[in-house]
Structure 1
Amino acid sequence: MSKFFQSHGFKRFMLLVGIAIALYLMRSMINIILLTFIITYLMNKLATKTTEGTRKYVPLNEKAVTVTLYLLLAGAIVAVIYKYLPIVTQQITQLFDLIASFNVNPDDNEIARYLAPTFEKIELDKYLEQGVDITLKNITNIGKIIMQILISLILSLFILLEKKRIIEFTAKFKDSKIAPLYDELHYFSRVFIRSFGKVIEAQFIIAAVNCVLSVIMLYLMGFPHLIALGIMIFILGLVPVAGVIISLIPMSIIAYSIGGLMYIVYILVMVTVLHAIEAYFLNPKLMSAKTDLPIFYTFMVIIFSEHFFGVWGLIIGIPLFIFLLDVLGVTSSETPKQKPIRRSKKQIE
C-alpha cells in the first residue's frame, strides 16, 4: 500500500483531482476561464497561420497581426450587437411563433394522418413556453455575458502579446522548490492543449462550415429567418453528433410549414450531405483518427457532461473526455516516432 500511495501514477491522479476541485471552487468564474482559453487558443492559431501566410509577401510582426485580428473581432462584435441584435431578437421570436403555430393537417395525406395524434401529444406550446422563458432569462443577462466576453478578449490579448515572457517566467518554476509540482502541471497543460484544444478547434471549424453551407442551402429553398437559423445551426453544430439531430427538429417543422413533406425530404438530404462532408473530409483533416469516438460513447459523454456542467457540458464534454483518454494513455494525439533504419555495413561503406 505504501508503494501504491508513493507511486508516480497515484500522485498524478491526486493532482488531477486537486485541479478538478480547484475548478469546482472557481465555478462562478468558469465562463471567463473557458472563454479565455478558447479565444486564446483559436486566435493564437489564426494569428500564427496569418503571419506565416503573409510573410511570403509582406514581412509582418506577429504581435501586429494579433492586434489587428483582435480589433477586427471587436469591431465585428460591436457591429453585430448594434446592428443585428434587434433583427436577431425579432427573428428568434418569429421562429418560436412559427414553430408554436405548427400543426399537421390529417387531410394532407396518409402519413400526416398518422403523425397528427403524435404531435398533439407532444404539446409543442408547453415546450416552447419553457424555451422562451429560458431565452428571456438569457436576454436579461445579456449585459453580464457581454462583460464576460469583453474580459476574456482583453485577457486573451494580453496573453498572446506577452506569450514569450509568460513562457520564460513560468519556466523559472522548473528550478524552484516546487519543481515536482511544476513538472506535473506542465505535463497536464501540454496534454490539455494538445487534445482539448485540438478538438475545440475542430468543433468550431466544423460548426462554421456546416452553418455557412446550411444557410446557403436554406436560402435556395426559400427558408425565412435565416440569421436566427444560422445562429441556431452554428451553436448546435458545436455539439458533436447530437447537435445535428437536435437541429433537425425545428428545421423539419419549418420545412413542413413551407413546402410539406417534400421539403422535409430535402432537409434530410441536406443534413446527410453535410454529415458526409464532416465525416469523410473535415474530421480526417482536423482531428486524429484516434479521437473518433463511437456514437454510443459520444452520446453518453454528452448526456453526463450536460447534467454536471449544463450548457457548457454539451460543448466541452467531448474535448474533456479526449483529454482524460490521452492522460490515461487510452489514446494519444502525438505522432509516433519513426524507428531508426538499420543499415548494413556495405550500405554504410
Structure 2
Amino acid sequence: MGRLEKYSKWVMSLIFAIIVIAVYKTFDNFNKILDVLKMIWSALTPFVIGFVIAYIFNMPIKRIDKGLKNSKRQFISKNAKPISIISVYFVALFLLLIIIRLIVPALYKNVVDLYYNVPRYFDEAISALVKWQDKHNITLFEVDKLTATNAFNNILNSIDITQFSKYAQGVVKITSGVTNFMIGVIASVYMLVEKERIVAAGQRLCRVIFKEETAEKFIENVTKINDIFSKYIFCQLLDAAMMTVLATIILSLLKVKYAIILGALIGIFNLIPYFGAIIAGASSVLITLITGGLLKAVWAGIALALLQQVDGNFIGPKIMGEVLDISPLWIIFAVTLGGGLFGVGGMVISVPIFMVIKMILSEVIVQAEARKASGLNEEENDE
C-alpha cells in the first residue's frame, strides 16, 4: 500500500511537470501555434460558411418539409425533404439575382449621390440653424459656419468615393473568397441532406463519453438551445427583410430621397430589438429633414412610427410566436449588456443568449426547489 502511494505521488508529479512544460512551450511558441490555428481556420472556412447557410435555411426547410409530408400526392410526400431543400435554395438564388441585378446598382447610385451632396446638405442645415437662432434671438449652439463646413469637408475628403467600385471589384475578383463561398454552399446542401445522420452520430458520441442520464440531459439542453437560436435568428432575419421592403416602399411613395439606403438601414437595425428601431427611425427622419425639408421629414416620421407599431404589434408577434418568451425589460437589459461588452454584434445575439441563460437558471431553480421540497417531506415523514 505504501509503495502504491509512493508511485502515485511520482506519477502525479510527472503529470504536473508535463503540464507545466506544455504550458511553457505553448506560450514560448505562441506565434507559431497561432499561425497553425489560422491555417486550420482558413482550411475550415468553407465548412463554416456552409454551416451558417445550412443553419439559417434549416428552419424554412423544416416548415416546408412538414407541409409537403401531409400532401395527398405520393411523389411529393415521399420526396418532401429534397423538394423542400431545392425550393429554399431556388428562392434564395432568385432573391440573390434580384438583389445583384436591381437593388445593388440603385443602392450604389444612392450612396454616390448622397456622398457628393452631403456637403451641400450640411451647409444648408448650418445656414438654417444660424437663421433660426438669429430670428428668435436664441443661441443654442455657437456655430461658426466656415469652421464647421471646413471640418466636415476634411472628414469627407478622407474618404475616396472613386475607389469604392475598385474595392468592390477587388472583393468580387478574389478567387479564394468566391471558391470558399461556392464550396460552402455545396457543403450546406450536404449538411442539410445528412442532418439526421450527423445529429444521430453526435448523440451516439455523447452517450459513449457521458453516463446515460448525463448524456440524455445534455442532448435535451442542446436541442432546446438550438431551437431557441434557430427560431430567433430565422425570425429576426425574416422580420428585417420584410421591414426593409415595406420601409423602402413607403419612403419611395413619400418621394423621400435615398429611400433605398434608408430602407436598408431600417431593416438592418431592426435586427437589434427596441434600440435598433429607434436609431434607424431617428436617423431616417434626420436625413429626410436635411434632404427634403421639415414637412417631408414629419410625414416620414409619422409613416415610420406607424410601420414600427404594425411591426411590433402584428408582424413581429406573428413571425416570432412564442420565441421571445421574456419580458421587454430583460430584452432591454440583454441588448444593453451585449452592446456594452461586444458592440453591435453583441446587441444582435444578446437576446437568444440571455434566453438560454434564463432557461438554464429556471431548470436549476426548479430542481433546487424540488430537492428542497423532497427534503422537507422526508423530515415530516420522519417526525
Please give the TM-score of this superposition, normalised by the length of structure 1. 0.68
Larger Rg: 2
- Report the counterpart of residue 96 of structure 1 in structure 2: 115
Aligned pair partner of 2:189 in 157, 165, 176 = 157
1:169 to 2:201 alignment: yes
Supply the AA of the counterpart residue of 1:229.
L
Helix, strand or coil at the partner of 1:204: helix
**Does the CA-based 8 Å contact 2:274-2:332 persist in structure 1?**
no
Helix, strand or coil at the partner of 1:268: helix
Whole-Å separation in 2 of the counterparts to 1:293 and 1:32: 37
1:69 to 2:91 alignment: no
- Report the counterpart of residue 293 of structure 1 in structure 2: 328
1:51 to 2:65 alignment: yes
Helix, strand or coil at the partner of 2:255: coil
- Report the counterpart of residue 241 of structure 2 in structure 1: 208
Whole-Å separation in 2 of the counterparts to 1:112 and 1:299: 42
Q: In the TM superposition, what is the alpha-carbon distance from 1:214 to its structure 2 partner?
A: 0.8
Whole-Å separation in 1 of the counterparts to 2:185 and 2:159: 29
Aligned pair partner of 1:81 in 75, 89, 100 = 100
Pair 258,33 (structure 1): closer, same or farther in 2 beyond 3 Å? same
Aligned pair partner of 2:54 in 16, 40, 45 = 40
Aligned pair partner of 2:339 in 299, 303, 309 = 303
Q: Write the mapping of 1:107-256 to structure 2, written as runs, cut at 5 A.
A: 110=132, 139=168, 141=171, 143=174, 149-179=181-211, 182-183=215-216, 185-256=218-289
Of residues 36-45 and 102-111 in structure 1, the stretch that sits farther from structure 2 once superposed is 102-111
**Does the CA-based 8 Å contact 2:121-2:291 persist in structure 1?**
no
Deviations 1:71-130 (A, max 9, x none): 332344255336654443232222333444323142797489778867976965566678
Pair 213,80 (structure 1): closer, same or farther in 2 beyond 3 Å? closer
Pair 185,331 (structure 1): closer, same or farther in 2 beyond 3 Å? closer
Deviations 1:120-151 (A, max 9, x none): 76965566678879x95984545576556544
Q: In the TM superposition, what is the alpha-carbon distance from 1:242 to its structure 2 partner?
A: 2.4
Pair 316,66 (structure 1): closer, same or farther in 2 beyond 3 Å? same
Identity %: 19
- Report the counterpart of residue 296 of structure 2 in structure 1: 263
Q: In the TM superposition, what is the alpha-carbon distance from 1:222 to its structure 2 partner?
A: 0.8
Q: In the TM superposition, what is the alpha-carbon distance from 1:217 to its structure 2 partner?
A: 0.8
Whole-Å separation in 1 of the counterparts to 2:144 and 2:45: 37
Please give the TM-score of this superposition, normalised by the length of structure 2. 0.63
**Does the CA-based 8 Å contact 2:56-2:234 persist in structure 1?**
yes
Whole-Å separation in 1 of the counterparts to 2:201 and 2:257: 53
> What count of residue pairs does the alignment treat as equivalent?
304
Let me know the Cα RMSD of the aligned residues.
4.2
Deviations 1:4-43 (A, max 9, x none): xxxxxxxxxxxxxxxxxxxxx8896798787655532442
Whole-Å separation in 1 of the counterparts to 2:132 and 2:229: 48
Supply the AA of the counterpart residue of 1:106.
A
- Report the counterpart of residue 128 of structure 2 in structure 1: 106
Whole-Å separation in 2 of the counterparts to 1:115 and 1:220: 35
Unaligned ranges ≥5, structure 2: 1-36, 366-383
Unaligned ranges ≥5, structure 1: 1-24, 333-349
1:277 to 2:340 alignment: no
**Does the CA-based 8 Å contact 1:196-1:319 persist in structure 2?**
yes
Write 1 or 2 for the structure with the bigger share of helix: 2
Whole-Å separation in 2 of the counterparts to 1:219 and 1:43: 31
1:326 to 2:362 alignment: no
Whole-Å separation in 1 of the counterparts to 2:73 and 2:160: 50
Q: In the TM superposition, what is the alpha-carbon distance from 1:66 to its structure 2 partner?
A: 0.5
Whole-Å separation in 2 of the counterparts to 1:201 and 1:119: 49
